[in-house]
């Protein structure tokens, strides 16, 4: 097969410094580039400085309207307008909220793949108007995407039952490493095996508040390390910090080798999401052999199977019981 020109749009871009879709785009893009394809990832302005070509992938940096509701879609629209005159053999769009660009791509004859995440309209951060928009975006995705991709069988089943369209199931992977150092932990104020770990965006549906509240009820000399942040949820992050006791460490964003060390040497990892797809952070913890604790949403139960511990859905008391037992 001759090399393809592949454009990836709809994320904050690479290097991956935000969430699961950014990790997905970096890993898929780098692997496609290594196979000889010409890969372009559209990145949002204001992120980490990086070279024009990163891991063999061309980066195009464009601005966005930096508000909670318009940041993603405005950047995706700008990306599509940039790529239209240049063309592509495949346009890979991430996030169903970006589906409004699909009719334009189809009208220009560009094949499209749309990667789905969790059921976006269920996220607590969205108001009624935003939820209605996301539900209409689902219908656009089903009608105009040439291929739908889901990383979760639960999400794929929803689209089959609700919309009569069967997404291609492509599960995420995770690094499998034999040995990971510990030299970065001291700078973070942590000791190997002496902390509980959470990694994710600090937004309500990721459930960090459940973990902070439950951890406060547990007698332990372990720390709770919370990795992540969010630029549009300052009130929520401030409330988390107010609730947290002295054993809770807010580390902000951590990437690269330091992040791998955090995963590899945690006593256990907790994913308390109320709404989620297949979490790359959860998979990373599992791939590194950590005990994992998850909220009992179907997507998490699908991911961990019999290789994790689940607490009752959104139940702080049961989470505290599980933490105390472990």
Q: What is the location of CATH 3.40.50.2000 in the chain?
A: 5-169, 186-325
Burial of residue 224 (number of CB atoms within 10 Å: 0-12, 13-18, 19+): buried
pLDDT digits over 59-93, tens only?
Answer: 999 999 988 788 999 999 999 999 999 999 999 99
Say yes or no: domain 5-169 is CATH 3.40.630.10: no
pLDDT at 118 over 90: no
> Per-residue confidence at 134, pLDDT binned at 50, 70, 90?
confident
Burial of residue 299 (number of CB atoms within 10 Å: 0-12, 13-18, 19+): buried
Report the mean per-residue pLDDT for the chain: 93
Interatomic CA distance for residues 170 and 155, integer angstroms: 12
CB atoms within 10 A of CB 105: 22
- Taking the whole predicted model, whether its pTM rises above 0.85 is answered as yes
> Per-residue confidence at 121, pLDDT binned at 50, 70, 90?
low
Task: Compute the average pLDDT of residues 259-282.
Answer: 94
**What CATH fold (topology level) applies to the domain 186-325?**
Rossmann fold (3.40.50)
Provide CB contacts within 8 A for 221, sequence distance 6+: 194, 247
Task: Compute the average pLDDT of residues 309-315.
Answer: 97
Burial of residue 173 (number of CB atoms within 10 Å: 0-12, 13-18, 19+): exposed
């Amino acid at each position: 097969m001759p090399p393809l020109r592949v454009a990836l749009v709809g994320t904050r871009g690479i290097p991956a410094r935000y969430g699961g879709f950014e990790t997905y785009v970096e890993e898929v893009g780098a692997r496609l580039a290594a196979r000889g394809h010409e890969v372009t990832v559209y990145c949002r302005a204001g992120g980490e400085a990086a070279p024009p070509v990163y891991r063999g992938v061309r980066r195009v940096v464009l601005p966005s309207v930096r508000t909670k509701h318009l940041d993603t879609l405005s950047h995706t629209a700008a990306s599509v307008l940039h790529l239209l005159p240049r063309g592509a053999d495949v346009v890979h769009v991430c996030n169903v909220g970006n589906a409004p660009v699909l009719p334009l791509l189809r009208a220009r004859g560009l094949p499209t793949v749309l990667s789905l995440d969790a059921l976006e309209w269920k996220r607590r951060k969205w108001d009624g108007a935003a939820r209605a928009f996301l539900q209409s975006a689902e219908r656009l995705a089903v009608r105009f995407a040439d291929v739908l991709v889901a990383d979760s069988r639960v999400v794929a089943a929803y689209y089959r039952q609700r919309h009569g369209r069967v997404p291609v199931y492509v599960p995420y992977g995770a690094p499998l490493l034999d040995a990971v150092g510990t030299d970065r932990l001291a700078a973070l104020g942590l000791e190997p095996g002496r902390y509980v770990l959470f990694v994710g965006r600090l937004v309500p549906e990721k459930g960090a508040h459940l973990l902070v509240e439950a951890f406060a009820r547990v007698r332990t000399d372990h720390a709770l390390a919370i990795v992540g942040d969010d630029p549009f949820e300052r009130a929520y992050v401030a409330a988390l910090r107010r609730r947290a006791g002295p054993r809770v460490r807010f580390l902000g964003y951590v990437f690269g080798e330091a992040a791998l060390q955090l995963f590899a040497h945690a006593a256990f990892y907790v994913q308390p999401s109320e709404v989620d797809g297949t979490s790359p952070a959860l998979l990373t913890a599992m791939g590194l052999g950590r005990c994992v604790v998850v909220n009992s949403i179907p997507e998490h139960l699908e991911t961990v199977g019999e290789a994790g511990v689940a607490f009752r859905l959104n139940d702080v008391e049961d989470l505290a019981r599980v933490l105390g037992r472990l």
